[in-house]
Every structure is written in structure tokens, then in C-alpha cells.
Amino acid sequence: MRVAISTGGGDAPGLNAVIRAAVLSSLRRGWEVLGIRRGFGGFLEDDQLVDLGRESVSGITHVGGTILGTTNRGNPLAWPVTRPDGSMGEVDRSDEVLRAFERLGLQALIVVGGDGTLRIANALSQKGLPIVAVPKTIDNDVRGTVVTFGFDTAVTTATDAIDKVHSTAASHERVLVVEVMGRHAGWIALQSGLAGTAHVILMPEIPYDISKICAKIREREAEGRRFAVVVVAEGARPKDGAAVLKEEAVPGGIARLGGIGERVAAEIESCSGKETRTVTLGHLQRGGTPTAFDRVLALRFGAAAVRAVADGKFGHMVALDPPLIKLVPLGDAVTGWTGVPLDGDTICTARELGVCLGD
Ligand code: F6P
């Protein structure tokens, strides 16, 4: 048996733990493992293949990033090309991926990725590639799994940052706005905001009304609490407006969110008169050492993916359904994404604690 593994999309702490578990579980079965570097694009270039033996996965469980490299610009179904007239376009190179898979004598591909990568994996699976998928993303927005690895580490990093801005916000009697990642889901904002005792938490799931945020800040002021910490998900948007984009989608890529923190800060300053500062955590949330929770989840996912390959369960994704790891059809997992449920008890808890959610 010869299996390949690739990591695609934005990196997330825990990717290396998945690779280690998948490689060691495969080697124990007497299989060979080939690493495909830089996502699916690695199939289209000869120098992106690497044999993964025991040594190559030694001591990597705690290391952030991915030893295989990754990209969120490498969709073989919409590969970016420059047309003769200089304009950018897209071509479908998925058949080349299938041919490379055959040529390399592979029998299975383990794909580790977030929603974008999983959608590509599903399309390739429908074209006949024997794929088992592993969900990954700090955003925690993949359908079919209760949680993705990388999320816990991102929340821990964001909570640590929120803890730190508290003292400076209090000392200067300022408002500190912390912008966190999460794309169109508010998981990181909600969890880190609650853990870090934010006074306002803004998420894409609840479009905000700036007057409610200012009312909360004035209410604190009236109580003698002259500072506030506001956590804003990058995908948050006002009731009558859209999310703020840092960069429009380019061919073969996705639009980048970012900038809502500055906008909210300016609005707070103008309506409350309070000095306001912004911190954007950005890629800090994707880097560094995975938490113990993420390491163990990632190791479990990697080993479960190999068991799925052994059982011939292609076209499936491993998923956490506590206390078990189960398999869900990949086609079901890519039907959409999972945001924060508004009727869930975490939202309810935030409201009961008096946290302003912008509505
Ligand atoms: O999906 C993970 C994520 O970090 C999102 O939270 C964020 O919107 C996006 O990736 C950033 O992508 P890039 O690394 O291309 O800036």
C-alpha cells in the first residue's frame, strides 16, 4: 500500500501532529507514505514530493505549521493562469492531479484542510480519487465535526492577548478593540471574548448596532468603570452594512477579511468620546505551539484517517463526535459551514453575564 498525505488552506496548529500520526500508523501497517508539498498543487510539480519515513516525523507533534507546506491559492479546479493578453484567468487542472496520482502508484490520499480544501477534495473524490479527509481550521467552521484542531490554540492565543490589553485599557481609561480571525464564523471571538472577560463581543452571526455598543460603554462609565475591552471577529458587520474586506478574491484564491476593528474603534470614539485603540491579532492566532487538546485531537484524526483508508472508507472525513472519532460523508461536510448557534448556551451565558453582543 502506498498512501499520500497533503495539507491545504491556511495552516493551523496541530497539522504536524496529524502528519505524524498518519505516517506512524501507516508505517506500522507496512505501508509507504508520500508527502505532497504545498497542497494539491504539489501533484502538478515534480519537486514537491517527499518520502515520509519515521525520521521525517520525529519530534513534530508540538511544532506549529506544517512540514509539508500549504497554500490557500492552489485549487487545481481553478488554477490561476496569465492569459496571452496579460489578464488573469483560471483553468481546470484536476485531470493532471488524477494522472499524477496514478503515475506515482498511490492507492489513497489523506487530505488535511479547511472548508475550501475539503470542497476541492470532494470534487476530486467525485472524479475517482480515493480520498479520506481530515478537518482543520482555527475558524472551527467545518460542518460535521464538533470541533476542528487548531481552534483551541487560536482561542488560547487570543485569550492571552485579551488578558494583556485589559491592564493597559484600565490604566489609560481607554477602549481597546481586539480584532480576531474566524472568517464568517464568530467562534474565536465568542470563546476568547468570554474567557478574556471582554465587555463587548461582535460576531458575524449577530450584525451589530453601534448605538448598543456605545450604550454599553456609557453604562460602564456611569458605574465608574472607565475602560472597556471589545472583541471583534474579522467577519463582523453592522446591521445595515457588509463585512470589511482587506483584499478582493483573486483567481484561484479567496477574498481576505480584515479592518473591521479599526472601523468599530473609530465609531466608538466618535459616539462615546473615549480614546480608543485597536489591536489586530492576525496570524499570531495561526502560529505557535498547539495546545495539548489540539495535539491529541490531531493525533486522533491522523490515526483515524489511516484506519479509514485501511477499511476502504474513501469519500469520508474523520470528525469528532465526543467521545468518539467518527466518519462522515465528505459530501455532507462541504454543504456549508457552521457558525455559532444563536440559541446555544454559550451565547446565553454571555448575555447573562451582561456582555454586549452588539444587538
Ligand atoms: O481560515 C483561517 C484563516 O486564518 C481565517 O481566519 C482568515 O480569514 C484567513 O485564514 C486568512 O488567510 P490568509 O492567511 O490568506 O491571510
Contact 75, 40 (CB under 8 A): yes
Kindly indicate the confidence band of residue 49, based on its pLDDT and cuts at 50, 70 and 90. very high
State how far the Cα of 18 lies from the Cα of 218, in Å rounded to an integer. 47
Give this prediction's pTM: 0.96
167-204 burial: b if 16+ Cβ within 10 Å, else e: eebeeeebbbbbbbbbbbbbbbbbbbbbebebbbbbbb
Ligand 1 contact, 137 CB (< 6 A):
yes
Closest C-alpha to 256, from 279, 228, 236, 235: 235
The rounded Å distance from CA 73 to ligand 1 centre is 12
Provide the grid cell at 301: 484524526
Ligand 1 contact, 235 CB (< 6 A):
no
State how far the Cα of 180 lies from the Cα of 196, in Å rounded to an integer. 13
Taking 70 as the threshold, does the pLDDT of residue 5 lie above it? yes
- Closest atom of ligand 1 to CA, residue 254: 15
The rounded Å distance from CA 245 to ligand 1 centre is 12
Taking 70 as the threshold, does the pLDDT of residue 251 lie above it? no
Summarised one tens digit per residue, pLDDT across range 303-354 is: 999 999 999 999 999 999 999 999 999 999 999 999 999 999 999 999 999 9
Ligand 1 contact, 183 CB (< 6 A):
yes
Kindly indicate the confidence band of residue 253, based on its pLDDT and cuts at 50, 70 and 90. low
Kindly indicate the confidence band of residue 72, based on its pLDDT and cuts at 50, 70 and 90. confident
> What percent of the chain is predicted at pLDDT more than 70?
99
Ligand 1 contact, 218 CB (< 6 A):
no
pLDDT at 45: 87
Domains of the chain: 2-149+290-333 (3.40.50.450), 152-286 (3.40.50.460)
Minimum CA distance residue for ligand 1 atom 11: 256
Kindly indicate the confidence band of residue 301, based on its pLDDT and cuts at 50, 70 and 90. very high
Kindly report the backbone phi and psi dihedral angles of residue 179, in degrees, each rounded to the nearest multiple of 5, phi listed first. -90, 125
Which residues form the catalytic set?
A: 139
Kindly indicate the confidence band of residue 209, based on its pLDDT and cuts at 50, 70 and 90. very high
Kindly indicate the confidence band of residue 271, based on its pLDDT and cuts at 50, 70 and 90. very high
Closest C-alpha to 284, from 178, 149, 134: 178
Contact 51, 33 (CB under 8 A): yes
pLDDT at 47: 84
Taking 80 as the threshold, does the pLDDT of residue 250 lie above it? no
Minimum CA distance residue for ligand 1 atom 8: 183
Mean pLDDT, residues 229-258: 90
The rounded Å distance from CA 304 to ligand 1 centre is 26
Ligand 1 contact, 138 CB (< 6 A):
yes
Kindly indicate the confidence band of residue 167, based on its pLDDT and cuts at 50, 70 and 90. very high
Closest C-alpha to 308, from 13, 6, 25, 16: 25
Mean pLDDT of the chain: 96
Mean pLDDT, residues 139-158: 98
Minimum CA distance residue for ligand 1 atom 10: 10
pLDDT at 288: 94
Q: How many CB atoms lie within 10 A of CB 162?
A: 25
pLDDT at 255: 86
Ligand 1 contact, 14 CB (< 6 A):
no
- Closest atom of ligand 1 to CA, residue 282: 4
